[in-house]
Amino acid sequence: MILFPMFSVKKILILFSVVSLLAFVDIDKSFASENELYSIHGVLVNGTDNAQLASHLVILHVSVNEEIFEYSSTSDINGIFQFDNINHPSNSIIGVSSIYEGVLYGIDLGIISELKDKIILTVYKSSSDSSDISISTSTIMFTSVDRSQNTVWVLELAKINNNSNTTYKPDPEKPMSILRFGLPENFVDLMIDSDLIGVEFVTIDKGFGILGNIYPGEHQLLFTYGINYFDTSLEFMRKTQFELNNLRIISENSIDLDLNDFEYLPEVTNVNDIQYNLIEINDIPKNKTISINLKNLPKPSLFDRTGNFIKDLNTGWLLLSIFMIISFSMLAKIYYSK
């Protein structure tokens, strides 16, 4: 007969505690292996004065699986800020930001484990003086004409320059001080994109405006839209708010246009094997009216008009059907509730 050793209840409890402790130690080791400790430091610089900025708040943003963690640090007398013992996975995405004179500044730093370059976060003093704002290049491209919808489609790219060492901050008491871009009458389906940080776009009379600040340097603004026309010609009007260093007007070879009040020599260029006409004008002053005439625009054919009529008719019948269903439902509810 084989005899098994006997354990007291006290020894069993001690053994269970040791095993449990070892299990938790393994879990902690596993957690520690997933996350690493990082030390992140950099310099906060006032770009207007070209000097380190002391005693100013800097925020570290850490993105982990769509969750954002934030840590704060204050720059020392030399403008140095530091974040110690940042415990996050090696593939976390980080960035730093700071608010100076009511304007937000920030830079993306990429993946935390691949951070190698010295971090320099630059902020600037603010000014409501727009004299140093200019448009270095404005490209107006008439991409196509939709004959069936009587619509000319346009793509515009503007490069906005702040040539100063201060951030342009529009005066809140002067709504017209914001950057504005005029659009032709009867524009439709406006879409806007930009690399400007923290700005919003608002529709204003005959165009849109940029609610936000313009930092020193060059920024790009891209917008597309359509223009409804009602005849075989269309006048495209634009007034410059700032000095325009270079204007380029590009159109499909099938689009017939000319530019009033300017001397120019049209050129022909190829983009993706498609032939385009190019007009280029330099050094356009502030408050100058630009008038572009589009001619010989195609009219919709009988087939196009019939298709549009049927489409509008279907839409009308759909709306009428929905209205009738809602009305009958309400009447039925009132009748049966009596």
For residue range 13-35, what is the model confidence (pLDDT) as tens digits?
Answer: 444 444 444 444 443 333 434 67
Does the pLDDT value for residue 9 go beyond 60? no
Query: Is 154 found in the same domain as 99?
Result: no
Query: Is 264 found in the same domain as 153?
Result: yes
Token pair, residue 237, equals 């009007």
For residue range 264-282, what is the model confidence (pLDDT) as tens digits?
Answer: 888 887 777 778 889 999 9
Whether 207 maps to a domain, the answer reads yes
Q: How much of the chain exceeds pLDDT 70, in percent?
A: 79
Q: State the Cα–Cα distance between residues 140 and 280, nearest whole angstrom.
A: 10
Q: State the Cα–Cα distance between residues 93 and 89, nearest whole angstrom.
A: 9
Number of domains in the chain: 2
For residue range 241-269, what is the model confidence (pLDDT) as tens digits?
Answer: 888 999 999 988 778 888 888 888 888 87
What's the pLDDT at 335? 58
Query: Is 51 found in the same domain as 105?
Result: yes
CATH of the domain at 247: 2.60.40.3680
Whether 329 maps to a domain, the answer reads no
Query: Is 189 found in the same domain as 64?
Result: no
Distance of CA 146 to the CA centre of its chain: 28
Query: Is 72 found in the same domain as 146?
Result: no
Whether 254 maps to a domain, the answer reads yes
Over residues 311-333, mean pLDDT = 61
What's the pLDDT at 16? 43
Query: Is 77 found in the same domain as 208?
Result: no
In the listed set 66, 94, 123, which residue is the last one of a domain according to the structure? Answer: 123
Whether 14 maps to a domain, the answer reads no
Q: State the Cα–Cα distance between residues 280 and 258, nearest whole angstrom.
A: 12
Query: Is 256 found in the same domain as 144?
Result: yes
pTM given for the model: 0.69
Q: State the Cα–Cα distance between residues 184 and 46, nearest whole angstrom.
A: 41
Whether 165 maps to a domain, the answer reads yes
pLDDT level of residue 324 (50, 70, 90 thresholds): low
- Owning domain of residue 64: 34-123
Query: Is 237 found in the same domain as 170?
Result: yes
Query: Is 244 found in the same domain as 284?
Result: yes
CATH of the domain at 105: 2.60.40.1120
Whether 93 maps to a domain, the answer reads yes
Q: Backbone phi, then psi, for 232, in 5-degree steps?
A: -80, 0
Query: Is 274 found in the same domain as 172?
Result: yes
Burial 124-149 (b: 16+ CB within 10 A, else e): bbebeebebbbbebbbbbbbbbeeee
Does the pLDDT value for residue 334 go beyond 50? yes
Q: Which of 63-72, 209-218, 304-313, 320-329 has the lowest mean pLDDT?
A: 304-313
For residue range 121-166, what is the model confidence (pLDDT) as tens digits?
Answer: 999 999 998 889 989 999 999 988 888 888 999 999 999 999 999 9
Among 179, 209, 203, CA closest to 189:
203
233 conformational bin, left if phi > 0, alpha if psi -120 to 50, beta if neither:
beta
pLDDT level of residue 301 (50, 70, 90 thresholds): low
Whether 307 maps to a domain, the answer reads no
Among 78-92, 174-188, 311-325, top mean pLDDT goes to: 78-92
* Cβ–Cβ under 8 Å, residues 156 and 179: no
- What DSSP element (H or E) covers 315? helix 302-336
* Cβ–Cβ under 8 Å, residues 276 and 250: yes
Query: Is 271 found in the same domain as 163?
Result: yes
